[in-house]
Amino acid sequence: MEIRKRWSDLLFREVSIAPLIAFRIVIGFLFLFSTLRFVSNGWVKQLYIDPPFHFSYLGFDWIQPLPNNWMYLPFILLIIASLGIIFGAFYRVSTSLFFVAFTYVELLDKSYYLNHYYFVSIISFLLIWAPANAQFSVDAKRVPSIQRNTIPNWPIFLLRVQLGIVYCFAGIAKLNPDWLLEAQPLRMWLQAFRDLPLVGDLLASSWVAFVFSWFSCFYDLTIPFFLSNSKTRTIAYGFVVVFHILTWLLFPIGVFPWVMIFSTLIFFPASLHDKWLNVLKKWFRWTSNPSASPISKSRIVITCLSFFLLIQAAIPFRYLLYPDNLFWHEEGFRFSWRVMLMEKKGYATFYVEDRTTRKSIEITNSDYLTPQQIDQMSRQPDMILQFAHFLGEKYQDTTLHFGTKSVHLSRPRVTADVYVTLNGRPNQHFVGRETDLMQEEYNLKHRKWILPLEN
């Protein structure tokens, strides 16, 4: 009972709304910038319109791209929704629209999975429930009765905890032999900078890779706690800025470093956010008449929030349900905040065979997949299986010609010869042609047809 009371008091303690308003504006601008960047780079056509096949997530194969240029519609909605979030205009509709449109695009093809896409989906979902339009917003002007200067602590607390989850699980994921004892894959990646003037030889040194590996592990595991402490917060944020800018300069990981740099500002006290919000309020000549209604405790909020945090803590550990090396079979790898932990490359050759004569044709992967899809598929078992099933369905009830002979395939056999290298290890056989992939089901069970990693 005492723990429940403290938990309730923490969630419903009255706090300033300023950090939440600042977070809404900053994250809205990041949403807008990311969407405009995606469209302007031509990625909508390249990734979603042109490819004839998409790797759906398990259970979400019913989600398909819109036909032709209609695929631009979700991105137009994302731009409109981002503006609604920034200005707090029709806020619940805007946040809900952004969450649905963004998650729809994210679920279309797991070839393009990134941790920061998953993070954006979660943050946009959390913002739906946060009263981030109760001050300095179009909604607050339209409906003055919603204006408040203080709110219950749970929306700000939840956003801080979610950021802490990202960091801590990224740190836990680094507690593996390749990262700590071999400094891999950083040792390989940093070799690419050997030719840089002045710092090239330094970056290519093995000891630098080990320093980066160990420091980044310590950083991820501890930075949320240092940011939560008023005595260490400013110094810790300096490390946040330096760490993510350095990561952005060295590695092509898009806008994720900037998302983390600006998102972590929510750890700072309301007084800091009030300073720059007051400047904006003067520019926009903002006047308010906030409500002083008391904050009531809700069991529904407590239950839902507790359940959400429990799920977020459990999902990254689901890999424990599977045997063998996680980085090899990648079962339970996604949605677990494993950021830049491995260098894995594969080469996959597929064959469509007649079951009786075993005559076969070799498939040209590029006839059906983009280079990025091929790169991702060639080293991820679930995608290898999906592509094999796609080929099996495509060649069902077709006729293959072998010189003067023709073979009708009523139910073809699909096999693959796949070799993979992981974190600097030599190429190893990953999938052999003895496995008929059409006989293997796409589900959550351990895939026994993956050949074991030989260290």
Q: Residue 22: helix, strand or coil by DSSP?
A: helix
Tens digit of each residue's pLDDT (9 = 90 or more) over 408-443:
777 889 999 999 999 989 999 999 999 999 999 999
Please provide residue 449's backbone torsions phi and psi, each rounded to the nearest 5 degrees: -80, -5
End-to-end CA, the chain:
51
Given a cut of 70, whether residue 191 has pLDDT beyond it is yes
**String of DSSP letters for 351-385:** EEE-TTT--EEE--GGGTS-HHHHHHHTT-HHHHH
d(CA 164, CA 108): 28
Q: Is 354 in contact with 407 (CB distance < 8 Å)?
A: yes
d(CA 396, CA 411): 6
Given this model, what pLDDT does residue 434 score?
Answer: 93
**String of DSSP letters for 225-264:** HHHHSTTTHHHHHHHHHHHHHHHHHHS--TTHHHHHHHHG
In this structure, what token pair is assigned to residue 76?
A: 């137009």
Closest of 385, 377, 383, 392 to residue 440, by C-alpha: 385
CB atoms within 10 A of CB 304: 13
Percentage of the chain beyond pLDDT 90 is 76
Q: What share of the chain is helix, strand, coil (3-state, %, to 5)?
A: 55, 10, 35
pLDDT (mean) for 25-46: 96
Tens digit of each residue's pLDDT (9 = 90 or more) over 236-287:
999 999 999 999 988 888 888 999 999 999 999 999 999 999 998 889 888 8
Distances 406 to 354, 393, 394 between C-alpha atoms, Å:
11, 19, 17
Given this model, what pLDDT does residue 177 score?
Answer: 94
For residue 311, the surrounding DSSP H or E stretch is helix 299-314
Q: Is 449 in contact with 440 (CB distance < 8 Å)?
A: yes
CA R_g for the chain: 25
Alpha helices in 41-173 (DSSP H): 43-44, 73-87, 91-106, 115-129, 138-142, 154-173
The arrangement of strands across the sheet holding 360-362 comes to: 360-362, 344-353, 413-422, 428-431
Residues in Cβ contact with 9 at an 8 Å cutoff, skipping those fewer than 6 apart: none
Closest of 273, 253, 252 to residue 262, by C-alpha: 273
Given this model, what pLDDT does residue 403 score?
Answer: 65
- Give the model's confidence band at 404: pLDDT under 50 very low, under 70 low, under 90 confident, else very high: low
Tens digit of each residue's pLDDT (9 = 90 or more) over 142-180:
998 899 999 999 999 999 999 999 999 999 999 999 999
- Give the model's confidence band at 1: pLDDT under 50 very low, under 70 low, under 90 confident, else very high: low
Given this model, what pLDDT does residue 161 score?
Answer: 96
Give the least confident one: 5-19, 291-305, 313-327.
291-305
Q: Is 363 in contact with 372 (CB distance < 8 Å)?
A: no
Residue ranges of domains in the chain: 2-320, 345-439
Given a cut of 80, whether residue 455 has pLDDT beyond it is no
**String of DSSP letters for 145-181:** GG-BSEEESHHHHHHHHHHHHHHHHHHHHT-SHHHHH
**Better-predicted residue by pLDDT, 42 or 396:** 42
CA 409 to chain centre: 40
Given this model, what pLDDT does residue 295 score?
Answer: 72
Given this model, what pLDDT does residue 85 score?
Answer: 98
CB atoms within 10 A of CB 121: 20
Which DSSP symbol is given to 123?
H
